[in-house]
């Protein structure tokens, strides 16, 4: 990723970075014709809910249920007790979706979730390297698969200078 883009991302809040990641995921899901699957819609809804949440600490548990590597491993080992927010049938459908999809989709979902998790328990610092790196990885995946990267200006409206780097709570429509 070039330095100019990295510098722009550093000025975007963590919520804004997450919104950028989700938007990239939506573009990929649209291309793969998965955007309208019920379980994918639920995942996207959960991700977008994070952007407007006041209680960011409560979201890690939800996102861990969707993390592809963990979900696949737990499903294959029948560890259904590890899931806190998904029913067994939802887990099965997500498992099948992840297993049938191209590996880059699971990788993209993992990086988007990592944007959220990057700073949940630590200070954000000057620009939150913990959320910057996964955001850059998301953009690399987009570029490597010739997918259009969303207009960064839409996400720069959520400034890193707001709310200790996290940015203010926003609705999805704020980034459109």
User: Does a structural domain hold residue 176?
Assistant: no
Domain count across the chain = 1
Digit-by-digit pLDDT tens for the chain (176 residues) are 799 999 999 999 999 999 999 999 999 999 999 999 998 999 999 999 989 988 777 777 778 889 999 999 999 999 888 888 899 999 999 999 999 998 899 999 999 999 988 776 667 888 899 999 999 999 999 999 999 999 999 999 999 999 989 999 999 999 99
Helix (H, G, I), strand (E, B) or coil at 118: coil
Spatial separation of the C-alpha atoms in residues 126 and 109, rounded to whole Å = 26
Give the pair of three-digit tokens for residue 176.
């459109």
How far is CA 165 from its chain centroid? 17
> Could you tell me the pTM of the whole model?
0.94
C-beta separation of 155 from 16 below 8 A: yes
> How many CB atoms within 10 Å of residue 65?
19
Question: 12 pairs with which residues across the strands?
Answer: 159
Provide the 8-state DSSP code for 122.
Answer: S
User: Does a structural domain hold residue 174?
Assistant: no
User: Does a structural domain hold residue 166?
Assistant: no
Q: Which helix (H) or strand (E) holds 106?
A: helix 103-117
User: Does a structural domain hold residue 165?
Assistant: no
Which position has the token pair 């560890």? 79
Spatial separation of the C-alpha atoms in residues 136 and 55, rounded to whole Å = 25
User: Does a structural domain hold residue 173?
Assistant: no
Torsion of CA 126, 129, 28, 148, to 10 degrees: 60
User: Does a structural domain hold residue 55?
Assistant: yes
**Residue numbers of the domain that contains 56:** 3-157
User: Does a structural domain hold residue 141?
Assistant: yes
Give the HSE-up count for residue 31: Cα atoms under 13 Å, Cβ half-sphere: 15
User: Does a structural domain hold residue 69?
Assistant: yes
């Amino acid at each position: 990723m070039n330095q100019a883009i990295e510098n722009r991302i550093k000025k975007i809040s963590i919520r804004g970075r997450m919104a950028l990641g989700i938007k990239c995921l939506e573009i990929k899901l649209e291309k793969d014709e998965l955007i309208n699957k019920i379980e994918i819609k639920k995942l996207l809804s959960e991700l977008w809910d994070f952007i407007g949440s006041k209680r960011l600490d409560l979201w890690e548990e939800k996102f861990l249920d969707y993390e592809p590597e963990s979900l696949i491993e737990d499903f294959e080992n029948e560890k259904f007790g590890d899931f806190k927010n998904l029913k067994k049938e939802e887990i099965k459908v997500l498992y099948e979706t992840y297993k049938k999809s191209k590996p880059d989709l699971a990788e993209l979902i993992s990086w988007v979730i990592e944007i959220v998790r990057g700073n949940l328990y630590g200070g954000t610092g000057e620009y939150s390297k913990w959320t910057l790196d996964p955001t850059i990885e998301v953009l690399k995946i987009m570029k490597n698969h010739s997918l259009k990267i969303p207009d960064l200006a839409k996400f720069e409206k959520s400034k890193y200078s707001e709310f200790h780097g996290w940015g203010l709570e926003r609705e999805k429509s704020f980034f459109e």
